[in-house]
Chain A
Amino acid sequence: MRYLPLTDPDRREMLAAIGVDSIDALFADVPRAARLDGPVDLPRAMGEIEVERAISGMASRNVAAGSVPFFIGGGAYRHHIPAAVDHLIQRGEFLTSYTPYQPELAQGTLQYLFEFQTQVALLTGMEVANASLYDGATACAEAVMMANRVTRRRKAVLSGAVHPHYREVCETYARFVGFEVAALDPAPGGDEDPTGLVGRDTSCVVVQNPGFFGEIRDYSHLARHCHAAGALLVVVVTEVLSLGAIVPPGEMGADIVAAEGQSLGNALNFGGPHLGLFASRDKFVRQMPGRLAGQTVDADGRRGWVLTLSTREQHIRREKATSNICTNSGLCALAFTIHLALLGETGLTRLARLNHAAAIALAERLERIPDVRVLNQAFFNEFALRLPRPAAAVVDALAERGVLAGIPVSRLYPSWTELAGILLVAATEMTTTEDMDRFDRALREALS
């Protein structure tokens, strides 16, 4: 077995040194009834060639986004990942290291986490960010629980523009952790007003910008309303690239930002691993979940980095921790940091403009199709189309024509028949004019 260095003579010699005559003696504590005599009923070991052949075979049955005109977003976006990103994150010193609990041996990881936290704070317009969480959806649930702790209230109001998966994760946590979620109906037009639901028991209002249906809104007024009522404003961002173009949540008065960072540096990966971003205000930092890298000095007085404020965390506080979270998305955070370092201010804003331009071009094309209507007033790189027919069937028909057209909203809201005609469509810097031509043509054919 290529991954196991011990040889049979090694094993015999080691057993002799231990003073037992067989490996079974070392498993003597296992109750006899639970010991398996031989291998379980699964295939035997395979060489690299055979494993590669078998698993590549599975991969080849999937339609990769890059092989077709592709317009799907909905919280996971296909962007270009510069070659340097994947090269650097595969350096073994990053890839095969553990959580940086031994800071003297992990200054590399700690420094990039500090850089990552700074980038996230700058992008979101917030004061402080953590070293990442699992994904945007769990970051959203953690944000609500943090708002509950800060306000000592236990009811969250969720906008109908919050990604339905994020809402569902919040609802699952709510049921078992013990808080309430009042979710507004899905609002494709972006014209809801949650202020009426903010009461004395409200810990936070959760909105998403751009919303799930693509609409961009100014939440400054809502922030003021929340603060007057003693509640926090949580802003979710599922397309972090949008922050290169639009007013960040921090400038609108957000208290917590929970975001999905996949768009920078990370592939679609069929939904995971992705990258949860979490940012807040300095005054709430001790209520934040997850790891934090901080600056300090070493015994020689030189600047260095450590994980800090760990008295919030489970390995120190156990049942009194702010969250049960241990693992973050370290390597995904590294990919994000490298991609954003390559982009810099100029690259990020240009990339954001390219995305916005592509989406506008696409929207202008598609709304010329008879009976097709763009529902958004303002959007970034994704918008909602109302089709004259159920979107799910249209998407299937276009998939057969080799176009991955977008997300039929009915897939996420199966019981909302009035949403059946809505298709979410995204365009990015990867979308070419030819892709748009093919989409346009295929959609006209499917609707005719």
Chain B
Amino acid sequence: MSDWSRATGARLIGDRAPGELAAPRETITGNRGLQIEENLIFEQGSLGRCGIDLADPPLFRARLGGLERQGPIGLPGLSEPQVVRHFTRLSQKNYAIDSGLYPLGSCTMKHNPRLNEKLARLPGFADIHPLQPVSTVPGALVLIDTLAHWLKTLTGMPAIALSPGAGAHGELCGIMSIRAALEARGERRRSRVLVPESAHGTNPATAAACGYNVDSVSGNLQGRVDIEALRAKLDTDVAALMLTNPNTCGLFENEILEIAAAVHAAGAFFYCDGANFNAIVGRVRPADLGIDCMHLNLHKTFSTPHGGGGPGSGPVALAASLAPYAPLPWLVHGAHGLELVEHKKGKTQQAIGRLKGFHGQMGMFVRALAYMMSHGADGLRQVAEDAVLNANYLRVRLKSDLSLSFPGPCMHEVLFDDCFLRETGITTLDFAKALIDEGYHPMTMYFPLVVHGALLIEPTETESKASLDHFADVLKALASKARLGDTARFHAAPRWTPRRRLDETAAARKPVLRWHPEPIEQQAEQ
């Protein structure tokens, strides 16, 4: 037990009496060395200050139709140094791949090459308008076409829809395309989409958004889809199966060809959630697995930065049966070279329509193409192999200390459950929070839902062996502390972060979603 936890005892959220100070936090400022407290911009600004010097507008007679905005907006004024310091301090309260291993299973937190940032900012990409004459952007069309060629070659699919803004948007695109294809064959009645229990939440949410009933398919003891349970559900009422492969247990669906055959025999479509494509890129083409439709998260497999939650990009690879329904716009090879088709006409008559403003996430396309060209066909294959090797290395290093959910090799991520914490009084959440104190971002917790207290670890291929060894040593040491009854360490964690455990229940019970000026009487008291 550490000195600190001995001094204070284990405390859960909300245990502290109002006004009571946390012993190790007692500095005059509330700061802790490099961790500096930072107020909101609204609490720092003053009305007259401005961080940008703009010319005086010339005299003019407004043509706003008498609708000039009246009264203050309430935005604070700050100088440039104040703004730079504010956001620098905020950045220092974040964990990032740049600062350490980020083992979030299913999220694929790999290194983001800086070349890609540089190229996306070239004026020839960043400073072009989506509606300027197409004749003035031939290089942009070539870039998009090249990206499409790489993605089609890697997936083995004949068509790719590039406009979806993120993975979930890609799912929407895929399920809409499937519905359009079914309607075109006169099959409006199919009302169900099958989704395995282990699926990402976006899968059932997408199917439901497109008007389908979600029917859950159970897994087998090996962490894969139970093919007999699937067959029992497949009938002429099923529109599609949405399957993640490799799945969210980090396992390849070894009966995938049989699954595809069964889905097709029922007249349904096979949608694959491509969130985990990074495990097989360059080694397996989804088309060869019988998949009809798969979204790719460019921010996962192809390393465009996650950016604290976006922007993403979710192109969708489509089989020939679904290609006619791809959303607008289309980029086609015409008689005069590349053509951008923005409306329904001729070949695009059956397109599902538009899913997003303009043409898609160009900034992400540039980054993803730079990533792919840097690796090449050989390097992408190596990416998949190293991702799988790293995950399996952690699997064997940890299997006797943590409890492995499924035996045998995994793909790019390895799933543990909370059996190893049984009787310790420590939960998966506590264990993860203790990992934070040791300088690591936690793994994905409590997902997938098919095992109890899941801990899903995805190291990615951009970690060195030394990095993996250190991480494994830390996890083993923590598991040992848990077994030996050092519960205070876990319950009190995290202790060294800018904030300790946050009260999420209170946040949801009485939501405070924006800053408000303090009421005048309170200000008067201070």
Contacts and interface: CB of A to CB of B under 8 A. Distances in A.
Contacts of A105: 94-95, 436, 441, 497
A324 B396 contact: no
Interface stretch (B197-205, B316-324, B479-487, B518-526): B197-205
A233 to B, nearest CB: 16
Given A40-B285, A84-B83, A61 B124 contact: yes
Interface stretch (A95-103, A192-200, A223-231, A440-448): A95-103
Contacts of B251: 29
B352 interface: yes
Contacts of B167: 326-327
Nearest to B70: A247
A272 B465 contact: no
- How many chain B residues sit at the interface, stated as a range, is 35 or more
A291 B309 contact: yes
Contacts of A274: 357-358
Contact of B256 (A31, A42, A75, A87): A31
A2 B98 CA distance: 16
A175 B90 CA distance: 43
Contact of A319 (B180, B208, B360, B382): B208
B171 A308 contact: no
Contact of B393 (A17, A28, A104, A114): A17
B389 A58 contact: no
A93 interface: yes
A296 interface: yes
B121 A122 contact: no
B439 to A, nearest CB: 10
Interface in B374-393: 374-383, 385-386, 388-390, 392-393
A8 to B, nearest CB: 11
B179 A52 contact: no
B306 interface: yes
A284 to B, nearest CB: 12
B332 interface: no
A273 B364 contact: yes
B304 to A, nearest CB: 10
Contacts of B47: 344-346
Contacts of A14: 389-390, 392-393, 465
B451 interface: no
Interface string B86-100: 111111111111110
Interface stretch (B104-112, B264-272, B416-424): B104-112
A382 B127 CA distance: 19
A172 B353 contact: yes
A107 B93 contact: yes
A311 B507 CA distance: 12
A372 interface: no
A10 B80 CA distance: 47
A395 B133 contact: yes
A291 B378 CA distance: 39
A299 B501 contact: yes
B205 A317 contact: yes
Interface in B179-212: 179-180, 200-202, 204-211
B115 interface: yes
B327 A172 contact: yes
A201 interface: no
Nearest to B280: A30
A18 B393 contact: yes
B69 A244 contact: yes
Given A36-B285, A84-B83, A177-B210, A62 B140 contact: yes
B379 A1 contact: yes
A94 B88 CA distance: 10
A294 B309 contact: no
Interface string A88-121: 1111111111111011111111011011011101
A60 B124 contact: yes
A56 B115 CA distance: 11
Nearest to B123: A64
Contact of B16 (A273, A300, A310): A300
A286 B467 CA distance: 42
Contacts of A97: 94-97, 306-308
Given A54-B373, A269-B362, A271-B362, A342 B78 contact: yes
Given A99-B309, A109-B94, A299 B500 contact: yes
A343 to B, nearest CB: 6
Given A74-B131, A138-B169, A341 B137 contact: no
Contacts of A351: 52, 54
A389 interface: no
28 contacts: A1-B382, A3-B462, A5-B467, A18-B395, A23-B385, A25-B409, A27-B284, A40-B377, A43-B376, A67-B123, A96-B306, A104-B494, A111-B40, A134-B169, A177-B211, A245-B68, A270-B140, A271-B130, A272-B362, A273-B311, A292-B511, A327-B166, A327-B311, A329-B310, A345-B76, A346-B77, A361-B58, A412-B131
Nearest 5 CB-CB pairs, A to B? A271-B358, A59-B124, A378-B65, A92-B98, A271-B130
